[in-house]
Amino acid sequence: MTQRNMTIPFDASPFNTLQNWFREAEASEPNDSTAACLSTIGLDGFPNSRMVLVRHITARGFTFFTNLGSQKSQELRANPSAALCFHWKSLRRQIRIRGTIEETTEDQADSYYHARPRENQIGAWASKQSEPLADRSILLERFEHYKNEFEEKNPPPTPIPRPPFWSGFCLVPRSIELWQDEEGRLHHRLLYTVTKDGWDSTLLYP
Cα–Cα distance between 85 and 37 in angstroms, integer? 5
Of these residues, 23, 77, 96, 185, which one is catalytic?
185
- Write phi, then psi, for 165 (nearest 5 degrees): -100, 20
- Do 163 and 125 touch, CB atoms closer than 8 A? yes
**Alpha helix locations (H) across the chain?**
15-28, 71-78, 106-115, 118-126, 136-153
For residue 23, indicate whether it is catalytic: no
Neighbours of 103 (CB within 10 A): 16
Torsion (CA) 141, 145, 146, 150 in degrees, nearest 10: 150
Side-chain half-sphere exposure of 65, counting CA atoms within 13 A: 23
- Do 62 and 53 touch, CB atoms closer than 8 A? no
The residue count for the chain: 206
Neighbours of 49 (CB within 10 A): 11
The catalytic site residues sit at 185
